[in-house]
């Protein structure tokens, strides 16, 4: 009889455990999916914010570049020697970097190359 009571208690315990798991597991799965959905939504919102801020920064950078180009254009119009100085600066930088291998001098007169030296008779 003692053994029969133990078997009954164990059987009731197993049945209650199974019933409890059958009740709790679906609720847990729904709760877990809700949390993962909230996490995915938060990730999507963060990605959207990052994309918007990146686009704003690119627009601002483009405006600043356009403004710099405009300022340089105005400076070139107001000061014609500006382009000449820019060329000399770029030429000097190329010489320092070693990207220029050879310099050929072409004599000019009024910015027109002299093609032939005058022959003396």
DSSP string, 62-108: HHHHHHHHHHHHHHHHH-THHHHHHHHHHHHHHHHHT---------E
Residue in the block written with tokens 């938060």: 42
- pTM tops 0.75: no
Q: What is the mean predicted confidence (pLDDT) over 29-33?
A: 88
Q: What is the mean predicted confidence (pLDDT) over 18-41?
A: 88
Residues 6+ apart with CB under 8 A from 75: 82
Question: What is the enclosing helix (H) or strand (E) of 113?
Answer: strand 112-113
Residue in the block written with tokens 């315990």: 13
Highest mean pLDDT of the ranges 20-24, 64-68, 81-85:
64-68
DSSP string, 27-46: HHHHHHHHHHHHHHHHHHHH
DSSP-based three-state secondary structure for 112: strand
Rounded to an integer, what distance in angstroms lies between the CA atom of residue 17 and that of residue 121?
A: 123
Question: What is the enclosing helix (H) or strand (E) of 14?
Answer: helix 2-78
In the predicted model, is pLDDT for residue 119 greater than 60? no
Query: Quick one: pLDDT at residue 51?
Result: 96
In the predicted model, is pLDDT for residue 121 greater than 60? no
Query: Quick one: pLDDT at residue 120?
Result: 52
In the predicted model, is pLDDT for residue 62 greater than 80? yes
């Amino acid at each position: 009889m003692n053994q029969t009571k133990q078997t009954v208690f164990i059987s009731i315990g197993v049945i209650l455990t199974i019933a409890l798991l059958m009740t709790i597991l679906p609720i847990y799965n729904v709760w877990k999916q809700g949390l993962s959905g909230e996490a995915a939504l938060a990730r999507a919102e963060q990605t959207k914010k990052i994309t918007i801020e990146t686009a704003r920064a690119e627009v601002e950078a483009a405006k600043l570049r356009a403004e710099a180009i405009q300022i340089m254009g105005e400076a070139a119009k107001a000061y014609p020697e500006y382009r000449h100085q820019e060329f000399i600066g770029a030429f000097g930088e190329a010489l320092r970097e070693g990207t220029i291998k050879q310099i050929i001098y072409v004599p000019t007169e009024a910015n027109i190359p002299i093609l032939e030296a005058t022959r003396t008779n």
